[in-house]
Amino acid sequence: MAYLFTSESVSEGHPDKVADQISDALIDNFLAFDPESKVACETLVTTGQVILAGEVKSETYLDVQTIARDVIKKIGYTKSEYMFEANSCGVLSAIHEQSADINQGVDRASKEEQGAGDQGMMFGYATNETENYMPLALDIAHALLIELANIRRENTEITYLRPDAKSQVTLEYSDDNKPQRIDAIVISTQHDDFAPEAEMLAKIKSDLVSILIPRIKAKYPQYAHLFNDQIQYHINPTGKFVIGGPHGDTGLTGRKIIVDTYGGKGAHGGGAFSGKDPSKVDRSAAYATRHIAKNLVAAGVADEILVQVSYAIGVAKPMGIFVDTYGTSKVNLTNGEIAKKVEEIFDMRPYFIEQRLKLRNPIYSETAAYGHMGRKPETVTKTFKAPGGIEKTVTVELFTWEKLDFVDQVKTAFGL
């Protein structure tokens, strides 16, 4: 019997994502001026207020207030009526030096023996149901909000949008796990107070169905066949949504870990990404396991793969690697045998993950909204400013864990 599966996404203006983006902007600035920085930065945002807290070991000094304000401005919180505005909000920093007790478990005389920054387990997942090897419902949920943000910034077809928004997509799958159609779409978007409530809601629903959805179908033609006349649209189902952003709901770093990963598919070890430098395996090993899973699926090892790795704090070698192919394996090997080959191909010690994926670079701001996985690898040039007029321009590779650069090695190892 057919079944339904749902994933959600949130916009860059969602309070939790505002917090994530500020935390990752701090990471990027620290790494730009001192690539060996060890950083764990948490952000809280609420009405008119930003609070930064965390631990840092770095040779550089930053103007964290300016960095936070620049992020908020870029997102679009630039009007006083939002009750959270880039130039006027307070920014309180409670960042202090990293614990020497933690640092001694990470730094080693030999960089190759760098210990994991924490214990825990991390998961990577990939499926061939989309071109970017991501779960389809999440991919569409992200696409809806990326395009909604484009419409907001254009400010021509729809002129009343505000930065905060959420989406949710429910797909119908067949018995053989193939997506058949979109069953329901939920979008809640913050907006100006421009008319009586009933009139406003009717206008917003009409605009999103008649403007946003056609743009999605045109921009993502591979998904166009999934849209149909029977989709249930729930647009701002609670009513008006004028009060939003950090004024409507406090935001915290690390509260959207399923949005950041696979939308509920696969598994999650529980550790957030944003605000953590790559010595924290919560982040680096989650990227590395995604890289493994994606290359395995692209090589034809299986249609769908979950990879788990686990660590002890201060220990370089992982506790173990686990692989689940969900019964979709195309090779005559058990999941345990596949995991053994993965260990032989990919060195999962933290230092080697950092080197393989070029993680000690300022590449994290771009990850902090619309998902860390399934994104397009690209090379960009970025400029950073520090107090005293110091500038640093760097060219970096973004989303290196999405590269299919191990497919040939995987095929050779598995005889494909």
Can you say which residues are annotated as belonging to the binding site for Mg(2+)?
16
Check: CB of residue 288 under 8 Å from CB of residue 400.
no
DSSP codes of every residue in 174-221: -TTS-EEEEEEEEEEEEE---S-HHHHHHHHHHHIIIIIHHHHHHH-G
Binding-site positions for ATP read: 14, 164-166, 240-241, 249, 255-256, 272, 276
Beta-ladder partners of 322: 308
Binding-site positions for K(+) read: 42
Give the dihedral of Cα atoms 236, 242, 248, 251; nearest 10 deg.
70
Q: Torsions phi, psi of 324, nearest 5? A: -130, 120
Q: Which of 24, 15, 82, 74 is nearest to 50 (CA)?
A: 15
Check: CB of residue 43 under 8 Å from CB of residue 22.
yes
| C-alpha–C-alpha distance, residues 88 and 106, integer Å | 39
| C-alpha–C-alpha distance, residues 245 and 251, integer Å | 8
Binding-site positions read: 14, 16, 42, 55, 98, 164-166, 240-241, 249, 255-256, 272, 276, 280
Instruction: Using alpha carbons only, give the angle 32, 38, 42 rounded to the nearest 5 degrees.
Output: 95
Mention every residue, 6+ apart, whose C-beta is less than 8 A from residue 228.
181, 182
Instruction: Using alpha carbons only, give the angle 184, 185, 188 rounded to the nearest 5 degrees.
Output: 145
Place of tokens 């203006």: 13
Place of tokens 């220990």: 315
Q: How many helices (H) and strands (E) does the chain have?
A: 12, 13
Binding-site positions for L-methionine read: 55, 98, 249, 280
- Count of residues for the chain? 416
| C-alpha–C-alpha distance, residues 412 and 414, integer Å | 6
DSSP SS3 for 232: strand
Q: Which of 360, 345, 311 is nearest to 115 (CA)?
A: 311
| C-alpha–C-alpha distance, residues 259 and 414, integer Å | 32
| C-alpha–C-alpha distance, residues 216 and 150, integer Å | 11
Give the dihedral of Cα atoms 9, 12, 15, 21; nearest 10 deg.
120
